[in-house]
Chains A and B, each alone.
Chain A
Amino acid sequence: MTISKSDSASKKHGMFFLGNVLVSLGILVVTTGGSWDISNHLLNRPETFFSTPHFVLYSGVMIALSGAVLVMLKRSDELKTENRVSTSLVQIGIALLVGAGPFDFLWHSNFGLDGLLSPPHLVLICGMVFSSVGAFLSTVKRLAEKSHLTKHILTVIGILPMWLSATGLFFSFSLPFSKTDYFDFNPNPVFGAVFATLAFPFLISMMLSMAYVANGKKFGFISVTGATLIVINMATSIIPNPWLHPTIPFYLFTLVPIVLCDLMLNLSANKMRTYFTGGIFGMLGYFVYYPLITHVYNKIETNQIVSASMTAKIYFEMILSVFPLIVIPCAVMGVIGAMVCHRVIRSVMRPVSSQLS
């Protein structure tokens, strides 16, 4: 039996696609482990490298690494030209991820407890951002060919790793968790709060708008992507702290405006409405990033000790003094996030649509 040239090309396309999905999936596992690791540092013994969240985190690295191998091996000339930027991002990202492991181990061995922002963690997070963006850029081009359910799954697997790894990067520059016996990498509290106010709304809006635009502006993708993020955040940041359990209904309530915006866009989508929903997404920054955001604004607002049992109390005490101050910049950054998303997706999809035509 002979395999035709087109069969072989389609097999390569399939393997290349699978490789990128595995990279995204691996980074999703890494980011989930990373978020759990932050909660673990806040609540339990943080000193050892051999902790369960670290195990999850580095399992994700292995999945992403196997995906990257497929991406590298199964490339035809056509795939190489078509995905030059995205594949380079995956390569650089995976190299940083793999390098971060031994670097982190050495850092823990020499300096014990490490903060959120440390050189090995920064290398790890940058690796996560690069590889997840690279993998998404390759998969998004093929979303149109997939069935409705597969599109949903691929959208979540593609977008959430980018969202969570960028969240990790932004938290590194805003949370006061980076002071250790050896180094003080804590951001200035005012810088941290301003940075969080601008960066998170932009990110939320960009990611939710991306789920919408990348899937032909269909209903449901914003809701499913938003719901998955909320469930992951809840599982990694709220559930590990028993004192926060009563606030789970409040956190799940954040899904309401996301679904409403999705509905609004489904009723009639025009540029104005897209930017309006972007603004609403931006305004959700203070709620989506509960409970960790408490530590950021507490530093300049009340400066109390945000211990496990006090987190919710401090968060809700600050809400009426913080939210009015940040609502306008949050909404503006949300609109900008939606605008940037439209431009990015348009430029990524253009070569594919021109090929298809």
Chain B
Amino acid sequence: MKLALILTLMGLAVYFCAVLFVIPSEYSNVKTLEPEPIFTAKLSSNQIRLGDSFNITIDSDNSNDSADIQIVSVAFPSITQIGNTVKIVGYNFTQSPRYVKTGDDIGYEYSGGTALIKAQYPSIEAYSRPVNPGAHYSIEMKITPDSAGNFTVFAKTVAIPHSGDHSHYPYGGIRDHQNEYVESFSVMVSDNLDKPGMG
């Protein structure tokens, strides 16, 4: 009886030693995924009249490893709220889009939400999970600016796990309010009195 008891206690000690000191090293050495997301953007027009609309289509891809999550963020620094200005007209990401309002807490420097900052302008986040290498997802938006001037759109894509400099795209250039690289697109919106393309 005593021997059986000692063996049982030894068994418990072996269990705790194994789960604390042996097993973790086996599992934590597993390689982290290195997804490489990318996108291409297409504008329907570079110049419109006030009251007219233009479309922007963003096609995203992923290569190398699969991503747990891939986010395509499209931000609108020229406006303070999305309202009726931006409408999604095409969307095949697996998750519903997330609308980020000015003042919302958002992730900072590719931390994915673990370090936070307030959004300075609105954006739309399209995302899928998981995203295998070679998978394509796209979002098309119809934008109707409500004032004349330059209408700017920022676009970027980030993959999670964010394991290196190639886990986001673009790799360099302008930085946005999240201190993350973006590609910038501008459309000149002329007043009704002006005649774009005529002068």
Query: What is A's interface to B at a CB cutoff of 8 Å?
Result: 43-45, 47, 112-113, 181, 246-247, 250, 253, 256-257, 260-261, 263-264, 267-268, 280, 283, 287, 303-305, 307-310, 312-313, 315-317, 319-320, 323
A37 to B160 CA separation, bound complex (whole angstroms): 22
- The segment from B12-20, B73-81, B84-92, B175-183 that touches chain A is B12-20
* Number of A-B pairs, beta carbon distance below 8 Å: 90
For B162, the closest partner residue in chain A by CB is A305
Whether A304 contacts B96 by the Cβ 8 Å rule is: no
Contact with A along B140-178 (1 / 0, CB 8 A): 000000000000000000001110000000000000000
Judging by beta carbons under 8 Å apart, are B5 and A305 in contact?
A: no
B199 at the interface (CB under 8 A from A): no
Residues in chain A near residue B25, CB distance under 8 A: 316
CA distance A253 to B26 in the complex (A): 15
- Besides the contacts A246-B27, A308-B129, A317-B28, what 9 more A-B pairs have beta carbons closer than 8 Å? A112-B96, A257-B15, A268-B5, A305-B114, A305-B162, A307-B161, A309-B161, A310-B161, A316-B24
Determine how close the nearest CB of chain A comes to the CB of B96; give it in whole angstroms: 6
- Listed in ascending order, the chain B residues whose CB lies under 8 Å from chain A are 1, 4-5, 8-9, 11-12, 15-16, 18-21, 23-25, 27-28, 30, 32-33, 66, 68-69, 94-96, 98-99, 112-114, 129-130, 160-162
Known: A112-B96, A267-B5. A307 touches B68 (CB 8 A): yes
Chain B proximity of A330: nearest CB distance (Å): 12
Would B8 and A320 count as touching, CB distance under 8 A? no
Listed A/B pairs (16) with beta-carbon separation below 8 Å = A253-B18, A253-B23, A256-B15, A257-B16, A260-B12, A268-B1, A287-B19, A303-B114, A307-B160, A308-B129, A309-B32, A309-B33, A309-B66, A310-B32, A316-B25, A317-B28
Main secondary structure of the interface of A (DSSP, over half): helix
Residues of chain B within 8 A of A43, CB atoms compared: 129-130
Q: Which of A280, A308, A323 contacts B20 (CB 8 A)?
A: A323
Q: Nearest chain A CB to B140's CB is how many angstroms away?
A: 20
Distance of A154 from chain B, by nearest CB (Å): 28
Closest to B18 in A: A253
Residues of B within 8 A of A257 (CB): 11-12, 15-16
Which of B4, B8, B19, B96 touches A113 (beta carbons < 8 Å)? Answer: B96
**Which of A112, A303, A308, A319 is within 8 Å of B24, CB to CB?**
A319
Q: Which residue of B lies closest to A280 (CB)?
A: B12
Is the CB–CB distance between B5 and A260 below 8 Å?
no
Chain A residue numbers with a CB within 8 Å of B113 are: 305
- Which residues of chain B are near A113, meaning CB under 8 Å? 96
Instruction: Indicate if the CB atoms of B68 and A308 lie closer than 8 Å.
Output: yes
A264→B68 CA distance, assembly (Å):
44
B-side contacts of A47, CB under 8 Å: 96
Q: Which of A112, A267, A315 contacts B8 (CB 8 A)?
A: A267
Given that A257-B15, A312-B27, A319-B20 are known contacts, is A305 also in contact with B161, CB under 8 Å in the complex?
A: yes
Is A247 in contact with B161, judged by CB distance below 8 angstroms? Answer: no
CB-CB under 8 A from B1, the residues of chain A are 267-268
Complex Cα distance, B15 from A253, in Å, reads 8
Chain B proximity of A298: nearest CB distance (Å):
9
Q: Are B15 and A260 in contact (CB under 8 A)?
A: yes
Cβ A260 vs Cβ B8 within 8 A:
yes
